[in-house]
Each structure stands twice: as structure tokens, then as C-alpha cells.
Amino acid sequence: MAIDLLTPVAGPLPQLQCETDTGIDTVPLDQEVAFGSWQRAIPEAYWHLGAEELVARVRAARATLGERVVVLGHHYQREDIIQFADERGDSFMLAQYAASRPQSQYIVFCGVHFMAEAADILRAPHQTVILPNIEAGCSMADMASDPDVRSVWRELGEHFGGTGDIIPVTYMNSAASLKAFCGEHGGIVCTSSNAAKVLAWAFERGRRVFFFPDQHLGRNTAHAMGIPLEEMALWNWRQPAGRRGGLDAAALDRARVILWQGHCSVHQRFSLTQIEAARARYPGVRIVVHPECRFEVVQAADANGSTNFIADYVAKAPADAPIGVGTEINLVSRLAKEHPDRTVFCLDPVVCPCSTMYRVHPAYLVWVMESLVRGEVVNRIAVPDDVKQHARVALERMLTLR
């Protein structure tokens, strides 16, 4: 149920404001409205299982597989998945964790496609990475394809008379091929927790940074480092080749940061109006948002940072201060439950979960785990060796900064 932000309240605040506040009930896969557009190539026997049986069968498969399997859960996964996670965290932390568990031959990554790819790049040779639902992608990562990025790179080279002074930086939330592109072209990967360090590294090596796919993380980070907005240019990759991404030559010449016009469909929903409404209604409220939010939202917040930063911020905030959070609802909901002594609410009264993260339904987890029990690997994520080799270079450059 959505709660309006305009009506004054007396007494305790509602903890959250979304119909997903109390978690999403597990329904059989065939009753999920979006199942038709998810991975259908799962045996029909798994389509109709109810919540109790799903839980019992995941537990049974886990008990049989023991240490041979590790289940990872990204912060944005639904509760009926996160309950089975051996470790939860952000994408990079989980990939590193899996690589540090040599006893686990199978890494079941409950997250989205680029995360499983990162785990496959960093895994030990004897490990295998599995994504429960192969259709769990990321709309932001999909906004930057390998051919599009290479085409823009060529155009930048034509405009500037070469790319020797441009450092490509890709956000972790991108395809493995783009991490490889950065590895091949003197570039690097960043996460939302180390983006400032990564940009500083890049500016020691080049005059300009080409940042993809999330414009907001790039802009927010560069601005916090003192780069004015006039020295950032937004490249519209939907423009035909030869149109400089819709930019005029002077704007491009001025740019120290060339931002890809990509965004996260979840974080871009947060608005200044929501923050103003929360502040008007709850004096003393603290606002913390993810840096994938729009510039004006990050500017108006009290703090911004990665998912781990947000979790830490909530844990350390004074108990009497309500906290408005701008990130994916599953994490906000979990933080509210973990801190029943304080009021934690989502800034967006009608926010929905990340629709691609949500595609990891427990039926897929049962299917991939029971397949492993039978000695069969389904939904393996395997990054080609040449891509892996270059992507590792870009990831290792980032690792030296930590």
C-alpha cells in the first residue's frame, strides 16, 4: 500500500511506504505474472511448487552438496532468495568472496548477469559459476553494448586526433566485454564504492575520461572531485555515428569527463520532490541515497554511497532520526527489519523492486541446485578466455587501488 507523504503524522512513522514493504510472498513460478518473459526452459515440474516445498528442496539440495556449493545473494535479491545466501553483499565483494572459497566447486550467484560474469572472471580454475535464471540481466548494463562503445571510441579518436589522452572507465555494472575493452585500452573498472579513487587514477594517466554505462555515477563522482558540470559532456549513444553523440564540438572539446547516456531504471526514479516531501514531513530526517541517483537528488541528500555504505549509514545513525533511503526496495526493507528500533523508509512511495533482480525466483534456485546434485550443470556462465584475460587486467588495475 502506498502512503502519501503530504498528510502530517503523529506518533511513530510508518516504516516503509511500498506494497513490497513486508516482503513479497512466494508464489509458484507459473503464478508470477512476468514468468512468460523469464527463462521458460526450466522443467515444468518446477513451475508449480509452493513456498514450503521450495524451501524444503533448496535445503535438501544444500545438505547433499555441502561445501561443494556456495550460494551468493546480492543485496537487492528478494527475501525468499537471500535466506539461502552464504554471503550477501555487492557484486564485487561477492565475486571476491567466491574466489576465496576454493572448497566450493560451484558458485551459484543469485544476482544478475554481469555479476555472474565478474565472478567467472575472478574464479579459480576448478570453479564453475551458475546464474539461476539466465534472463536476469540489468537494464543499465544493456544500455552499453560492445559495438556501440567501440563505435563511440572510434568517433572520439576521430574528433580528438587519437585516443591516447582518453582513459576508458567502466562501472562494474557492465558486460565482461566492456571490462575487456578497458583492459585493452589502458582503462579500468570501478564500483560505486571506489569510483573517486578510480577517476583520480585515470586523471593521472589522461586528460579525459570516457565513463560508461552510468552517467549518474560518473557525474556525481567527478563533481565531488571538483570537476564542474561544464566540463562534463553527455554522449547520447542512440545518435547515429558521426553526430558526436548529439554534442557540439566546443562542448566535447571542453569535456574532461565524457559520460555515456545510461542509467539505472530503479535509482533514476528517486527525485528532489520526494526528498523535499520527506524533509517537510519529518523534521530531522536523514537522507541517504545511492550515487546511481540523479545529480540533484545526490546534492540534496545528506549522504550518498554504495549499498554497503548505505547499510553502514543506517546502522550508525542516531536511533531517534528517521532515515529516508534512495535505493532498491529489497535492501531498504531488509534494513528496516534489521533495525526495528529506528524508522527506515524508502523515499519513493511507489517504488518497485529491480525487475531483473526479481527474476531469480526460488524455483530456479531449486532447479539449478537439484541439477548439481544429479551431477548436471545448468545455466553456467562462461566468459570466453580472450575476454576474460583483458577484463582481468582492468579489474586488477582497480584492485591495486583498494
Q: How far apart are CA 296 and CA 272, in angstroms?
A: 7
Q: How far apart are CA 394 and CA 101, in angstroms?
A: 23
Q: Nearest approach, Cβ of 365 to ligand SF4 (angstroms)? A: 18
| Binding flag, residue 345, ligand SF4 (CB under 6 A) | no
Q: Nearest approach, Cβ of 137 to ligand SF4 (angstroms)? A: 8
175 versus 357: smaller Cβ distance to ligand SF4: 357
Q: How many residues does the chain have?
A: 402
| Binding flag, residue 266, ligand SF4 (CB under 6 A) | yes
Q: How far apart are CA 146 and CA 262, in angstroms?
A: 14
Pick from 39, 96, 128, 265 the residue near ligand SF4 by CB under 6 A.
Answer: 265
Distances from the Cα of 66 to the Cα of 18, 59, 106, 372, angstroms: 37, 10, 11, 11
Alpha helices, H only, 45-90? 51-65, 79-82
Pick from 5, 70, 98, 112 the residue near ligand SF4 by CB under 6 A.
Answer: 112
Task: Tell me the per-residue interface mask from 135 to 174 with ligand SF4, x by CB under 6 A, - otherwise.
Answer: ---xxx--------------------------------x-
76 versus 345: smaller Cβ distance to ligand SF4: 76
28 versus 326: smaller Cβ distance to ligand SF4: 326
Q: Nearest approach, Cβ of 146 to ligand SF4 (angstroms)? A: 18
The stretch near ligand SF4 (CB under 6 A) out of 260-268, 270-278, 293-301, 383-391 is 260-268
Pick from 129, 317, 354, 378 the residue near ligand SF4 by CB under 6 A.
Answer: 354
Cell, residue 233: 559532456
Q: What angle do CA 45, 81, 40 make, to 5 degrees?
A: 35
Q: How many residues bind ligand SF4 (CB under 6 A)?
A: 13
| Binding flag, residue 83, ligand SF4 (CB under 6 A) | no
Pick from 264, 317, 335, 336 the residue near ligand SF4 by CB under 6 A.
Answer: 264
The stretch near ligand SF4 (CB under 6 A) out of 6-14, 307-315, 349-357, 376-384 is 349-357
Strand partners, 189: 170
The amino acid at residue 386 is D
Q: How far apart are CA 292 and CA 369, in angstroms?
A: 33
| Binding flag, residue 121, ligand SF4 (CB under 6 A) | no
Beta-strand ranges (E) seen in 117-224 are 128-130, 166-171, 188-190, 208-212
- Cα 44 from chain centroid (whole Å): 30
The stretch near ligand SF4 (CB under 6 A) out of 117-125, 258-266, 337-345, 391-399 is 258-266
Secondary structure class of 297 (helix, strand, coil): helix
Pick from 192, 194, 356, 379 the residue near ligand SF4 by CB under 6 A.
Answer: 356
Task: Tell me the per-residue interface mask from 173 to 212 with ligand SF4, x by CB under 6 A, - otherwise.
Answer: x---------------------------------------
Q: Nearest approach, Cβ of 281 to ligand SF4 (angstroms)? A: 26
Q: How far apart are CA 332 and CA 334, in angstroms?
A: 5
Alpha helices, H only, 263-384? 272-281, 295-300, 307-316, 329-338, 362-373
- Contact partners, residue 269, CB within 8 Å, separation at least 6: 348, 351
Q: How far apart are CA 359 and CA 37, in angstroms?
A: 10
Q: Nearest approach, Cβ of 145 to ligand SF4 (angstroms)? A: 15
| Binding flag, residue 94, ligand SF4 (CB under 6 A) | no
Backbone phi and psi for residue 55, each to the nearest 5 degrees, phi listed first: -65, -45
Catalog residues that contact ligand SF4 under the rule CB under 6 A.
Answer: 76, 112, 138-140, 173, 264-266, 328, 354, 356-357
